[in-house]
Amino acid sequence: MLLTPISLAPPAHQRVHGALRIAYARDAQGRTRLADLYQRAPCRVLFPDVEADEPPQAVLLTTSGGLTSGDRLDIDIVARQGSRLTVSTQAAEKLYRALAGEPDAQVAVNLRVEPGATLEWLAQETILFDRSRLRRRIDVELSTDARLLATESVVFGRSAMGERYESGRLHEAWRVRRNGRLVWADALHLEGPMRAHRETAFAVGDASACATLLYAGDDAAALLPALRERLSEEDAQIAAATSFDGLLIVRMLSADAARLREALKRIAAILRSLALGLPDALPRVWTC
């Protein structure tokens, strides 16, 4: 009788490659409607009922409960000509400890806003657990007179749970193009012991969270003075804004992740009200 050899090698860890594609278009009656939808686990999208003064909303979630080494998400959002759309995430995304020898977790977000369209990308924070590794890329393609409001934020460990982000890797890159021309490129790269980054000039200092808020629109420069005045009232450790080439960019740092979240909510709400004519509050998914 032949016996099947028993392998003593550890089993391969299961990894995910989720994908999500959403497109919204304006119909003959001027209403924004879902035009295309594709989703592959663990990516899912919900379509909540919204108030009368809000555009259609799509709420993204991952059914895996978080990401780790080797996981990958590809997200494509399209606001077609003349449409208005808000996309948010259901909750904070968690990045767990990566295993040695495995590739980084990767998230690719592609946002396309066609002529006369308005898109909000209101992602809630990403929480980095100790020794996690994440590579995230946000690519934006804007057409003439398109408008975009986008947020991304990162929390370095759950301090309320007594956790600390001591080491790992974070690489986050933004690329914004208007009619195919690159108008903004930015990258944040943190790797190795966080102590070194806290002690390095122009790094994170004692911050436990950071955020980027981007608004693209013809009125971006005109909104800058009022926004700077409001930023001076916030209690985030560092909050600053600049504007150029039809873009308005806000950067925020804080030693308290909860305080930064509240400040980000207020500033994003002000911008969506002033620039987009929407209510001065973020979608309910941010508060439920």
Contact by Cβ (8 Å): 105, 98: yes
Cα gap 222→278, rounded to integer Å: 18
Number of neighbouring beta carbons within 10 Å of residue 250: 24
Tens of pLDDT along 81-117? Answer: 999 999 999 999 999 999 988 999 999 999 999 999 9
pLDDT of residue 199: 67
**Residue 239 confidence class, pLDDT cut points 50, 70, 90:** confident
235 has pLDDT over 70: no
Q: Express as a percent the part of the chain with pLDDT over 90.
A: 74
237 has pLDDT over 80: no
pLDDT of residue 15: 84
8 has pLDDT over 60: no
β 247-254/238-244 pair status: antiparallel
pLDDT of residue 281: 93
**Residue 11 confidence class, pLDDT cut points 50, 70, 90:** low
Cα gap 212→260, rounded to integer Å: 11
pLDDT of residue 4: 62
What is the residue extent of each domain of the chain? 17-286
Tens of pLDDT along 160-215? Answer: 777 888 899 999 999 999 999 999 999 999 898 887 777 666 677 778 899 999 99
CA 54 to chain centre: 20
Q: In whole numbers, what is the pLDDT of the chain averaged over residues? A: 91
